[in-house]
Structure 1
């Protein structure tokens, strides 16, 4: 693997993991805001029509996915993590489109989706499933 490709891979992977950890922790904390209809970081979920409890599921999977794509070994789990992140982020994007959200609200999902694809595509051979 060339040095440039390795740098792009790690940059994309670490930025992706950081975004997943940041949003996952925010979703898991679910701090109540007195007088608000929904807790901070939950208003978007409520506006999209999802129940607030989905934040626990999403936050947990984001944290597990972030850990899995960064740690060495376990190529099968990495494949599952990348697939899950792809489904999560395309689902988020479609939810925003279906709910009629402004295009600016699509940007985080698109950004993380692009990072997911780049990280998956550029991953080193030792992070891929062995070819039969």
Structure 2
């Protein structure tokens, strides 16, 4: 794939993922009824909605920024833990596929954006290295 194609795909899928996470964060922070019902069914305290919603907003900001790679890595890790935790929580209470599929799908989408980000960073880094090498060799 060309670097421009990788970059375009990365930003399209990442934007969709981040919008989904912002929507989920908003639902948590405003303590929407669907979230309350889910937490009650899972046996978690209601204040977890606000904590997770706030963490998701921080994660969205971390993934959207382009300067600090390590912060982005941590955000991807946090979302991974969140999705796996959601899957395992629903699995533990014997919920059906309807509750197990959403965190699985979001995990796959997130991994795809992560893969594209890493691929783009690799291509970008190689481009910078080749430019420096070409400049040192006297090639214009």
Task: Answer whether TM exceeds 0.5 for this pair.
Answer: yes
Distance 2:105 2:71 in 1: 23
Displacement of 1:122 in angstroms is 1.2
For 1:42 and 1:74, how far apart are their aligned partners in 2?
Answer: 34
Kindly indicate whether the alpha-carbon contact (under 8 Å) linking 1:30 and 1:41 is maintained by their aligned counterparts in 2.
yes
What TM-score do the two structures reach when normalised by structure 2? 0.78
Give the structure with higher Rg (CA): 2
- The gaps in structure 2 that reach 5 residues or longer are 125-140
What TM-score do the two structures reach when normalised by structure 1?
Answer: 0.82
CA deviations over 1:70-89 (Å, ceiling 9, x no partner): 12211110010001110111
**Number of equivalenced pairs:** 120
Tell me the residue number matched to 1:34.
Answer: none
Report the equivalent of 2:6.
Answer: 5
Task: Provide the C-alpha distance between the structure 2 equivalents of 1:56 and 1:77, rounded to a whole number of angstroms.
Answer: 22
Question: Do 1:68 and 1:77's aligned partners in 2 also have CA atoms closer than 8 Å?
Answer: yes
Tell me how far apart the structure 1 counterparts of residues 104 and 13 of structure 2 sit (CA, whole Å): 13
Alignment of 1:1-132 (within 5 A): 2-30=3-31, 39-123=33-117, 124-125=120-121
Structure showing greater relative contact order (alpha-carbon pairs closer than 8 Å, 6 or more residues apart)? 1
- Structure 1: runs of 5+ lacking an equivalent: 32-38
Superposition RMSD in Å:
1.8
Contact 1:19/1:112 (<8 A) preserved: no
Structure-1 separation of matches of 2:29 and 2:108: 24
Which structure carries more helix by proportion?
2
Deviation at 1:44, TM superposition (A): 0.6
- Following TM superposition, the consecutive aligned residue runs of length 4 or more in structure 1 with deviations greater than 6 angstroms are none
Q: 1:52: how far off?
A: 0.7
